[in-house]
Structures are given as structure tokens and as C-alpha cells.
Structure 1
């Protein structure tokens, strides 16, 4: 839903909600294409900014038994099936972001100042908490995962602009013995705060969002290389503060798209995955046709997956929704058919 198209009464309500939550809502006149949500997860019943970041686990033996993991930054990790029904809750503390590679998930745990590790059983489609790795830094904020060969990478990000990279030998699991191999100063501008990030193992790159500045890229093959700016808020390609969740839709031969949440404008910016990372379009997530799923506003975390799922042959986008439909009440996650995004933005089906 675009701010500029709201009726006066709705606009007033949003402005009052913004004042109440110290949020800033942006209408800069940049057009965005509407794309309807397909379905939603069960709500995290209660008040406050609770839901934050989703991640899809694609079941390698039975794709219909895949799972959506969703963080509750007050309580723990929620698990949903592909109908959106909740199947499990893990009371592991205040986890903010989550990501998955293979059958292992990691989450940034502010309560324990650690990386929380989880394994996912393909036969039972259940999630098991393996334990926590202390990061020795306050408030691990965002996190993303990468898998290169038998090395699993977990990268928590921080509000001081730093990112840590931890490496775990997959063959040693379920025993946790990750090694801190790098700490990188990514944030350079504004308030430095980092959150969203994503590994692109195929192209040897990592994307990181600096909330008040834009999107950075790290060289996965040489972590000593200085971060490179991909896009900025100032460039007016669609980003606004806060630059939040990001993930990639993987195509063939290293092609694909990077999707980034421009939180305060209720929209998402899409870039080519390969350099020079041209901006390809902007979209919003609207209510579905019968109104049973409401529109998405103020998205924090998101996940994209190109794995074919039942009814979604090109994969899906999953986004956090701040208002369901009232701001900070019963927050949840909305799921969008990637085919609809491709059609709306005229993206090539690579």
C-alpha cells in the first residue's frame, strides 16, 4: 500500500501510529508496483514489535514438508509449515535474525550475546537447538549464513558497524566449535548500524545493509578487501532508511536478484545479483484479492528462495509485517509468489 494513495482518515491513523512508535514513514514520490501477498503465517499473538526475520528451510527429501522459521525478538524462534500454521516454538531467548544453509540454521541472540545454532531433521521436519556460541560482543543484531564446501559461515552484524565471520566445520556437527576468522568494519556513514546481510556463495560475495546509508558488498574470497558500496539512500533508486532485510533469488549460472527492504517507505528494491548490480524495480506487497491477507508495512526482515515449492514453481519471498493489520499487534510474516514479482517488474526468468 502506497502512503500517497491512502484516504485521509487512514493517513491520520498511520501518522498517529508513527508518532506512538517513533517510526518515520516516508512518501518521496518514487513509484512502486503493487504485488499481492499469497498467504500468511499464524500471528505472534500480542502487542509490541515482536516478529522480525524469516527464513525458509527447503526439505531435501519431501519439499511439501518444508518449514518457515521466524524470529520473535522477545521470546524465541517460531516454526511454521507451508500453510502458515505454527508447528513448533523454541524458547531460546531474544533472537533477532535467522538464516539457513543445508539443514542448519543460525540466529542472532541478543539475550545471550551469542549465535544460536539449530539443526533441522528432514524426516520429522522438526527443529532442534544445538547450543549457543558467545560472540564476545554486545547485541548481535543481524545474521546471515553461507556454505562453501564443508565450511558453514555465520556472520552476525552489529550496531557499531562491525560484522564478524565465524566458521564451523560441518563434519564436526552436532558438536559446535566455530572459529572467529574475521571482524570487519563495514558501516562507514550515518549511525553505522548494520542488520540485514546475505551470502552469495556462487559469485563469491556478501551483501550487507547499513541502515542509514545503503548496501555494501564484501569479497567472500578475500575478506581483507575493503567493502564496496552497491547503492545508497542518497542515490534515490528506492532505498530509504532504514535499509533492512535482504536476500537473493538464485537463478542459473550465478544470475539472479538481490531484494532489499526499504522499511520506512513500505517497499522493496530489486537489483541484479551480478555486477554492476543495476536496480531493476521497486514493489510493494498489497492485500490479496479477497482481503483475507492484509497489506505489508514497515518490513524488517525478509527471505527469498528460488526452490520450487508446491504451488510456487519459481519460489517465494517471505516478509515480516509490522501491522497485521494494526501496527505492532499480532505481527506475522507474509508470503509472496516469486512469479508474481517477476511479472510485475518484467524480470527475466533466468
Structure 2
């Protein structure tokens, strides 16, 4: 009799846990998109990850690079207009450092390299590919240290590869595998913090990690776990960095909950707040759901003096249909979270 009663009690306890309301350390704040990009017409998971190339020079406009999992790389201006498309294959994630960009290309099993040019007709040029040693490169991010550019590639197996770029030729780029790190399960989003020598990596079903990537003896350490209930939920997807000289923030997408969690960039990386992106106040732009990739810059850009956040939107407005990217003034996030 004892065992059946114990199992029954456990069943009641489990049911209570499932039905208990979520308790968060912060109230979820709301911000609104100011612009949306032209949609990637069609059904299915198409748009994935954006990267912002910001400039304040008079002779060139800022750009948003956006990946299309089925086709290639779209390029937009800050008004959301598509200005270029590069048919380079099924790419998943993209990142930028300076004028260089890199994307994870699942179709060619490679890192696809790009450079931002000064040609208004073709603002982004595809300059080469680096074959990777592991099938299906998934997430990617780009960093820079005193040795130049370094790309990190993440995989569904939990593997992270670090590729050192050779920029000795202006019109081409090559890279060699420098180091690998193994984490427990599927990864995707990552971002380098060049000034701290760190990389932040999202493990989709677990949480957020940090690693001193230049130290071959360093072990990854945990920034936040889903089970810590600071706002993260599976899947932990896009990760980006809002840089400031004496601080700044990490932003992570909690995909299934349609929200974003913000942490201090500097250790101990304390959580600072949670926000969601609702439809614009005039109703012209729909809200954001199920975000995959995101990017944020702290540089002052036209119409965004405090910086710009760009996020992937799964539904526009219907889930899996005509996906696109939404632009949010970072000043809204700062005001909403009291940063």
C-alpha cells in the first residue's frame, strides 16, 4: 500500500508544479517596434538572424544583414527596405566585426565570408568560404582581438569551434581551426565580448554560458540557467551584447515565451529585467513572437541615438508566414527596464 500512495502523492505534486503560475524576479515590460523589414515571402522557417552594420558617415548608409535559411543573405536599410540579396545558399546565423561579416552556411557546410563595400549598388560582397570539419554549422559569431578576427561556430551536438581568420588578402579571407570546446547539448546563439576576452553562448535547453576564449585552459562558466527562473525558457536562442565603456548588457531571446532577458555585461552578469515586443502603438507593425536571432548596437545611429535592437519575428503576423525583422529603439528598453 505504501508505494502506490507515494506514487500518487508524487503525481499530485507534479500536477501542482505544472499548474503553478510562473514566478519571475521582474515584471515583464513592453516595448514597441519602430520599423519592420520587408518580409521574406512564403511559409516556413525562413528568417533567422540579423546583424547590424552601423555607420554615421555621410557617404554610406547603415545596413541590416538578415539570414534566410532557405536561400541566402538579405540586406536592408534602416527603413526596412531590401537593398540587396546574395544567393549564397541556406545560411542560418550571421555576425559582423568592422566591415567583415561571417555566416554559417548549412548548404555548403562552410563559413561564408562577406565584406561591406562602398558600392551603393552592391553594398555587401561575398568574398569566400571556409569549409568546416563538422556537419551542419548552426550558430556563428565574430570577434576581434590583438591577433585579428576569430569566428565561433556552434553545433546541435554542443560543440563549439573557434576559427582564426587570415585577412592578409583584401579580396579574400581564409580561416583555420584553432580550438574546440564541448558543451552538454544543442547550442545556437553566441556573441563575443572583445574587451573582456569572453564569449557568451546559449545552450537551448539549459541556459547561458561564458568562456574566456583566448585561454586554452579556461572552462566555461554558467551565466544563467533556465531553472534559476530569471526569465529564460527553452529555447535559449539569440544572444547579443550592448556595449558601454563601464558596463553594458547581454540580451538573450527566451523563444518559447516570446520575451527577452537582459543581464549585466560585466561579472557577475546579474539579471536586470525582462521585456517583450508588442505591436506598435499605431497598430501598423505587429508584435514579435518566437524570436530566433537578434542583434543590438550601442552606437548612435540616425533616429536611434541610444542604439538599435533588431530581432527576428517568427510571425508577420501569422506564425511561419512572411517572416521578417523588427527594429526597436534601444532607448525604449533602457526606459522600460530602468537601465
What TM-score results when the alignment is normalised by the length of structure 2? 0.90
| 1:102 corresponds to | 98
State how many pairs are aligned: 316
1:55 maps to 2:51: yes
Q: Is the 8 A contact 1:200 1:206 kept in 2?
A: yes
| C-alpha contact (below 8 Å) 2:296/2:309 kept by paired residues | yes
Task: Choose which of 159, 164, 176 in structure 2 pairs with 1:162.
Answer: 159
**Equivalent residue, structure 2, for 1:302:** 294
- Select which of 316, 325, 328 maps to 1:333: 325
Q: Distance in 1 between matches of 2:136 and 2:338?
A: 40
Query: Counterpart in 2 of 1:293?
Result: 285
Q: Once the two structures are superposed, what CA deviation does each residue of 1:159-181 show, in whole Å capped at 9, x if it has no partner? A: 01011111113333323221110
For residues 1-350 of structure 1, the aligned pairs below 5 Å read 28=22, 30=24, 31-59=27-55, 61-62=57-58, 65-124=61-120, 126-149=123-146, 151-185=148-182, 187-188=183-184, 192-253=185-246, 255-347=247-339
Change in 2 beyond 3 A, CA 1:56/1:225: same
CA distance in 2, matches of 1:195, 1:120: 24
Structure with bigger gyration radius: 2
SS in 2 for 1:314: coil
How far is 1:38 from its partner?
Answer: 1.1
Q: Secondary structure at the match of 2:168?
A: helix
CA contact (8 A) 1:37 1:293 kept: yes
**Structure 2 CA distance for partners of 1:62 and 1:156, relative to 1, 3 Å:** farther
3-state SS of the aligned residue for 2:333?
helix
Q: Alpha-carbon deviation of 1:148?
A: 1.4
The question of whether the paired residues in 2 share the 8 Å contact of 1:146 and 1:153 is answered with yes
Task: Give the Cα–Cα distance (whole angstroms) in 1 for the partners of residues 169 and 308 of structure 2.
Answer: 32
2:7 maps to none
Compared CA separation, residues 240 and 271, structure 1 to 2 (3 A): same
Q: TM-score, normalised by structure 1?
A: 0.88
2:4 corresponds in structure 1 to none
- Partner SS for 1:45: strand
Change (3 A) 1:251 1:38: same
**Worse-superposed segment, 285-294 or 267-276:** 285-294
Could you list the runs of 5+ residues in structure 2 that have no partner in the other structure?
A: 1-20
Unaligned runs of 5+ in 1: 1-26
Q: Deviations over 1:276-331 (max 9, x none)?
A: 00000000011111111100000000001011111110111100000100000000
Which of 164-173 and 208-217 deviates more? 164-173
- Describe the superposition over 1:33-92 as per-residue Cα deviations: whole angstroms up to 9, x where unpaired: 011111110000111110000000113634860100000001100000111000000000
Of stretches 282-291 and 52-61 in structure 1, the one that deviates more from structure 2 is 52-61
Tell which deviates more after alignment, 214-223 or 200-209. Answer: 214-223
Change (3 A) 1:60 1:151: farther
Kept after mapping to 2: 8 A contact 1:57/1:67 = yes
- CA distance in structure 2 between the partners assigned to 1:298 and 1:291 by the alignment: 19
1:220 CA drift (Å): 2.7
The residue that corresponds to 1:10 in the other structure is none
Runs of 4+, deviation exceeding 6 Å: none
The answer on whether the counterparts of 1:140 and 1:157 sit within 8 Å (CA) in structure 2 is: yes
Instruction: List per-residue Cα deviations over 1:204-230 (Å, max 9, x = no partner).
Output: 110000000000001033133111011
Secondary structure of the residue aligned to 1:344 is helix
Aligned Cα root-mean-square deviation (Å): 1.4
